[in-house]
Amino acid sequence: MKLYDQAQNLVARVGIIQVFAFVLLAILGARLYYLQIVKGEYYNEKAENQRIRLIPIPAPRGAIFDRNGKILVFSRPTYNVTLSNEPIKKIDVNDRVDDYAQGLQVDRQFVLERINFIKSQPEFETLVIKENATIQDITWVESHELEYPELRIEIQPQRFYPLGKVLAHVLGYVGEIPPKQLEKPEVREKGFRPGDIIGKGGLEQYYDEYLRGKPGYRKVLVDSRGRVQDELEVVEPQAGQDLVTTLDLDLQQTAEKQLASSATKRGTIISMDPNNGEILVMASAPSFDPNAFVTRSSKPEGRKEISVYYTNEERPLLNRAIQGRYHPGSTWKIPESVSALQQGAITVARSSIVCGGGLQVGNRFTRDTSGNHGTPDLPSAITHSCDGYYYRLALKLGLPGLIKMVETFEYDKQTGVDLPNEKISQTPKSFESYIRKRDKGKWNDIETVFASIGQVTVNVTPISMLRAVSSIGVEGRMYVPHLLKEFKPIGAIGEEDDPNYIPARAGFGYNYAEPKIIEMTPAQNKLVMKGLWGVVNAGGTAGRIKNPNFEIAGKTGTAQNSEIGSGGAKDHAWFVSFAPAYKPEIAVIALIENSGFGSSNAAPAVKGVYDTYLSKHHPDLLGGQQVAMK
């Protein structure tokens, strides 16, 4: 063909089109070079990040045992329905809420909260939406796999409290880490993620770091909708360390029974080895079931159960042993006696003070509630709980003397028990500024008189009272009460050169601090001991619990209180003790709220604990009736 004839520069124009086509292809080639060669690594990483997911495998928490190896708490595997955020990032919440709630039989409000929370998480995360999935739940999830790729069934450990309400306050419970807490950078730094289970209250909280294991993970391949296609790698979790407590479950159960059969069913019993501070019993009533928080909190009934715990006027969530503060009544006279001897207000040789059946302070006569005791010496004043004696003794000590006593017996501090949220006792030391403000800068004698018998300005925690009084039996050594006996070691996971290696964790016991020493001469100690011994063994206020084979030293207390409780304004009954009196192995304190006299309400409860202790350790020493029954 003669191209030249037919158009201007046709050959050139064809050539231009050809060059144009080649230029287009060259642009593509250059762009390819940039994407594949220059940025190949970058895109490779991006692709990997979007197809590889690490699904954490929660580690089972360490179990908790009593001192004899009886199990108190453990983790058991359950089927959980989990919810991943990735597939639902772009989806309207309302598309799912009712489907989940109906399909899985869970509370709608709960589902709504969960979805909204997980959707707000920036990274790939999963949350449990239903624990303890039933066969029906599992079938439902599996049959809706295509519609709801965000739901999965996972086997995860669940905390179980086989004893229910027994020891609930001491053990605490577990739950998901609150979203608020997760917002703190230091919490995130420790590796916490949404949905992680942490201890809440009790030993679960205090020793969370050791009880909690290190989670493993499953490395999986996911498709664009987040559906798991393949499992690439599994790194097993390392379980938490097992905790052996100093508790004795048999004694604990006796104590719980004593509280349950008490007049008001409200109070606390604590038992401790005065020689080292090991707590054998810590019971507080009324109690709660930790399982409610763990297994039932996603169901409407469970949520109601929990909300009742919070609103109940009897405050079942309060650990009365370390968080309750009560007027100690006459039990206060024991540390007061020791302090008076230390400060020289009385001496071993001259310890007698007039009782007078009470005391006239200003224009007001304050009665001795148990009559006129003449002019008793210290042991007799303790044994018969003479108020008049202590009114006068306290006036001798004055406010500075009372403050000195508070400091000596550390009523101005926490005892240091290994439980969270321990309260500090309130004393004349802490109340002084308040009273002076109220009374135009003065501390009137009447305040000293009231304080002498553990009223008005004295509000102590039962644990601090047990610790103070039981120290008298061991020459003034005041140990830190504690529940930890030992943590068991746990083995390493994987090989040492493995990138996923988790090193072993060593076992350890309680880290003992030097006991606080209450300075007393042997003669002073003997004098106070004589009074304490007499309370039970020499016709004192708690004579009815006497066991000649196993002598108990102790002190009753009957604390007036104006608090409005459901039992009316009846007195709080106290009994604090240790036994055997002159070589104590065990100390026990009981406080029964609003039940009346300490001698008739608290002392028998303590006796019950001693009897169980004897039947376990010295069955031959069991008291009269039991022997007679054989």
* Contact set with another protein (CB under 8 A): 1, 3, 5-8, 10-11, 13-14, 16-18, 20-22, 24-25, 27-29, 31-33, 35-37, 39-44, 46-48, 50-51, 89-90, 221-225, 229-230
**Between 48 and 189, whose beta carbon lies closer to another protein?**
48
Distance CA 234, CA 565 (A): 56
Q: Whose CA is closest to 379, among 492, 259, 525?
A: 525
CA separation for the pair 39, 33 (Å, rounded):
9
- Here the tokens at position 113 are 């909260």
Kindly state the tokens that stand for 212. 């909690």
CB of 46 or CB of 617, closer to another protein: 46
Alpha carbon of 10 to those of 13, 17, 244: distances in Å? 5, 11, 97
If the CB atoms of residues 22 and 582 are measured against another protein, the closer one turns out to be 22
Residue 92 CB, shortest distance to another protein, in Å, is 14
Kind of pairing between the strands at 477-478 and 173-176: unpaired
Q: How far is the CB of 44 from another protein (least distance, A)?
A: 4
Rg (CA), the chain: 35
The smaller minimum CB distance to another protein, of residues 149 and 316, is found at: 149
Q: Are the CB atoms for 212 and 331 separated by under 8 Å?
A: no
Of 220 and 559, which CB lies nearer to another protein in the complex structure?
220
Query: Cα dist. 378→115, 350, 382, 596 in Å?
Result: 68, 9, 6, 25
Peptide bond into 462 cis (omega under 30): no
What is the distance of C-alpha 161 from the center of its chain?
14
- Give the HSE-up count for residue 458: Cα atoms under 13 Å, Cβ half-sphere: 29
Instruction: Give, for 181, the enclosing helix (H) or strand (E).
Output: helix 179-182
**Can you list the alpha helix ranges (DSSP code H) found in 522-580?**
522-537
Which is nearer to another protein, 47 or 627 (by Cβ)? 47
**In the complex, least distance from residue 233 CB atom to another protein, rounded to whole angstroms:** 13
Q: Check residue 88 and report its DSSP letter.
A: G
Nearer to another protein among residue 90 and residue 350 (C-beta)? 90
Token representation of residue 122: 């920036």
Nearer to another protein, 35 or 308 (CB): 35
Residue 611 CA to residue 283 CA, distance in Å, equals: 17
Nearest approach, Cβ of 30 to another protein (angstroms)?
A: 10
Say how far apart CA 284 and CA 268 lie, in whole Å. 4
Nearer to another protein, 184 or 225 (CB): 225
β-strand partners of 156: 78
